[in-house]
Amino acid sequence: MGKILESLPLTIVAGIVLTVIMIIATEAIYDSQISAPERAVSDMMNNM
């Protein structure tokens, strides 16, 4: 980790990777919170 943080470009790349992981985690949390009927409505709306 120290090697990454010593390099500014690698620090930025690590920040972008963390952002992608955060977006995936956010989506997973939202998915786990939504109920089956809500998911059906959401899917239907997305397909319209």
Partner 1 sequence: MEMELFLIRYLHVISGIMWIGLLWYFNFVQIPSMPKIPDEQKPAIGKVIAPEALFWFRWSAFFTVLFGLALAWRNGYLVEALMLEQPNIGFGMWLGLIMAFNVWFVIWPNQKIALGIVEAAADAKPASARKAMLFSRTNTMLSIPMLASMISAQNPII
**Closest CB to partner 1 among residues 12, 41:** 12
Q: Which residue has the tokens 């919170």?
A: 33
Does residue 9 touch partner 1 according to CB under 8 A?
A: no
Does residue 30 touch partner 1 according to CB under 8 A?
A: yes
Q: Which residue, among 12, 19, 14, has the nearest Cα to 1 in the 3D structure? A: 14
Decide: 16 and 23 in contact? Cβ < 8 Å: no
Does residue 11 touch partner 1 according to CB under 8 A?
A: yes
Run of H or E residues at 42? helix 36-47
Judged by the rule CB under 8 A, the positions of this chain that interact with partner 1 are: 2, 5-6, 8, 11-12, 14-16, 18-19, 21-23, 25-27, 29-30, 33
